[in-house]
Structure 1
Amino acid sequence: MPRQLITLKLACLSGVIFLAGCADMGGLAPFGQLRSEQTVAATASLAGVKPAPWPTNDWWRGLGDESLDTLIREAVKENPDMAAADARMRLAAAQAGSAEAALYPTLDAKASFPGTPFPDDFPKPFAGYTSAKQINLTAGYVFDLWGGQRAAWEAALGQQRATEVDGEAARLTLSTRVAQAYSDLAYAFASHDVAIADLDRAQKLLDLTRQRVDAGIDSLALLRQAESTQASAEQKKAQTAQRIESVRMQLAALLGQGPDRGLTIERPRALNAAELSVPENLPAELLGRRPDIVAARWRVEATRRNIDAAKAQFFPNINLTAVFGVMALKGADLLESRSRFGLVTPAISLPIFDGGRLRSNLAGRDADYDLAVAQYNKTLIGAFNEVAENLSQLRSLQTQLASQQRALSSAQQAWELSTQRYRNGVGGYLEVLVLQQALHQAEDRLAEIQNRRIDASINLVRALGGGYRADTPIALSAASADVQATTKEN
Structure 2
Amino acid sequence: MYRITRFMLAPLAVSILLSAGCVNYAGINHQGKLLSLGEAPSDSLKDKLPAAAWPSSDWWTSLGDPRLGALIEEAYASNPDLQEVTARVAKANAFLDLRDAERYPQMDAEAGVTRGRLSKFEDYSGEGHKYFTARNLAVNFNYTFDLWGGQRAAWESALNSAMAAQVDLQSSRLILTVNVVKAYNQLAYAWQVSELNRRDLERLSKLVELTDSRYGSGLDNLSQLKQVQSLKARSESTLIGANEDIEIARLQLSALIGKGVDRAQTIERPASLQASVVALPAQLPAQLLGRRPDIVAARWRVEAENKNIDAVKTTFYPNINLVAAAGSHALTGDALFAGVSKFWNVAPTVTLPIFDAGRLRSDLKAGNAQLDGSIAQYNRVLSSALHEVAISVTQLRSFEQQIVVQRDACTIAQSSYDLSQSRYKAGEDTFLDALNIEQQLIQDEMRLAFLNSKHIDSSISLMAALGGGFQEQPLQAAQSAGL
5 Å-filtered alignment, 1:7-406, equals 10=10, 13-15=13-15, 17-19=17-19, 21-118=21-118, 123=125, 128=130, 130-406=132-408
Paired residues of 2:276 and 2:456 also in contact (CA < 8 A)? yes
Counterpart CA distance in 2 for 1:426 and 1:288 is: 64
Counterpart CA distance in 2 for 1:6 and 1:113 is: 39
Deviation of the 1:249 alpha carbon: 0.5
Q: Identify the range of structure 1 (160-169 vs 112-121) with the bigger mean alpha-carbon deviation.
A: 112-121
Task: Give secondary structure in 2 for the equivalent of 1:116.
Answer: strand
Paired residues of 1:296 and 1:376 also in contact (CA < 8 A)? yes
One-letter identity of the residue aligned with 1:53? A
Structure 2: runs of 5 or more not aligned: 477-483
Counterpart CA distance in 2 for 1:11 and 1:324 is: 25
Deviation of the 1:438 alpha carbon: 3.8
Counterpart CA distance in 2 for 1:351 and 1:118 is: 42
One-letter identity of the residue aligned with 2:325? V
Q: 1:217 to 1:445 in 2, by over 3 A?
A: same
- The residue aligned with 1:468 is 470
Counterpart CA distance in 2 for 1:337 and 1:359 is: 50
Structure 1: runs of 5 or more not aligned: 475-490
Q: 1:419 to 1:228 in 2, by over 3 A?
A: farther
* Residue of structure 2 aligned with 1:410, choices 409, 412, 420: 412
Task: Give secondary structure in 1 for the equivalent of 2:43.
Answer: coil
Deviation of the 1:283 alpha carbon: 2.2
Q: 1:116 to 1:412 in 2, by over 3 A?
A: same
Deviations 1:47-81 (Å, cap 9, x if unpaired)?
24222221111111111101101100000001101
Counterpart CA distance in 1 for 2:12 and 2:165 is: 46
Counterpart CA distance in 1 for 2:236 and 2:422 is: 24
Counterpart CA distance in 2 for 1:19 and 1:131 is: 48
One-letter identity of the residue aligned with 1:242? E
Counterpart CA distance in 1 for 2:223 and 2:131 is: 116
Deviation of the 1:260 alpha carbon: 1.1
- Percent pairwise identity: 41
Q: 1:164 to 1:434 in 2, by over 3 A?
A: same
Q: 1:383 to 1:428 in 2, by over 3 A?
A: same
Task: Give secondary structure in 2 for the equivalent of 1:110.
Answer: strand
Counterpart CA distance in 2 for 1:408 and 1:53 is: 33
Counterpart CA distance in 2 for 1:359 and 1:122 is: 50
Deviations 1:316-365 (Å, cap 9, x if unpaired)?
11100001011111121111111111100011111111111111100010
Counterpart CA distance in 1 for 2:392 and 2:118 is: 85
Q: 1:353 to 1:193 in 2, by over 3 A?
A: same
Paired residues of 1:169 and 1:292 also in contact (CA < 8 A)? yes
One-letter identity of the residue aligned with 1:18? L
Paired residues of 1:20 and 1:352 also in contact (CA < 8 A)? no
Q: 1:426 to 1:66 in 2, by over 3 A?
A: closer
Paired residues of 1:17 and 1:316 also in contact (CA < 8 A)? no
Task: Give secondary structure in 2 for the equivalent of 1:282.
Answer: coil
Counterpart CA distance in 2 for 1:130 and 1:11 is: 41
One-letter identity of the residue aligned with 1:113? V
Q: 1:6 to 1:161 in 2, by over 3 A?
A: closer
Deviation of the 1:24 alpha carbon: 2.1
Paired residues of 1:30 and 1:366 also in contact (CA < 8 A)? yes
Paired residues of 1:323 and 1:343 also in contact (CA < 8 A)? yes
Counterpart CA distance in 1 for 2:180 and 2:393 is: 21
Counterpart CA distance in 2 for 1:335 and 1:15 is: 41
Q: 1:15 to 1:254 in 2, by over 3 A?
A: closer
Counterpart CA distance in 1 for 2:83 and 2:115 is: 51
5 Å-filtered alignment, 1:431-450, equals 438-450=440-452
Counterpart CA distance in 2 for 1:81 and 1:426 is: 60
Task: Give secondary structure in 2 for the equivalent of 1:108.
Answer: strand
Counterpart CA distance in 1 for 2:274 and 2:440 is: 27
Counterpart CA distance in 2 for 1:197 and 1:119 is: 101
One-letter identity of the residue aligned with 2:327? G
One-letter identity of the residue aligned with 1:14? V
Deviation of the 1:38 alpha carbon: 3.5
Counterpart CA distance in 2 for 1:89 and 1:135 is: 40
- Aligned residues: CA RMSD: 2.5
Counterpart CA distance in 2 for 1:52 and 1:12 is: 63
Paired residues of 1:20 and 1:316 also in contact (CA < 8 A)? no
Paired residues of 2:174 and 2:464 also in contact (CA < 8 A)? yes
One-letter identity of the residue aligned with 1:337? G
Counterpart CA distance in 1 for 2:69 and 2:8 is: 76
Deviation of the 1:183 alpha carbon: 0.2
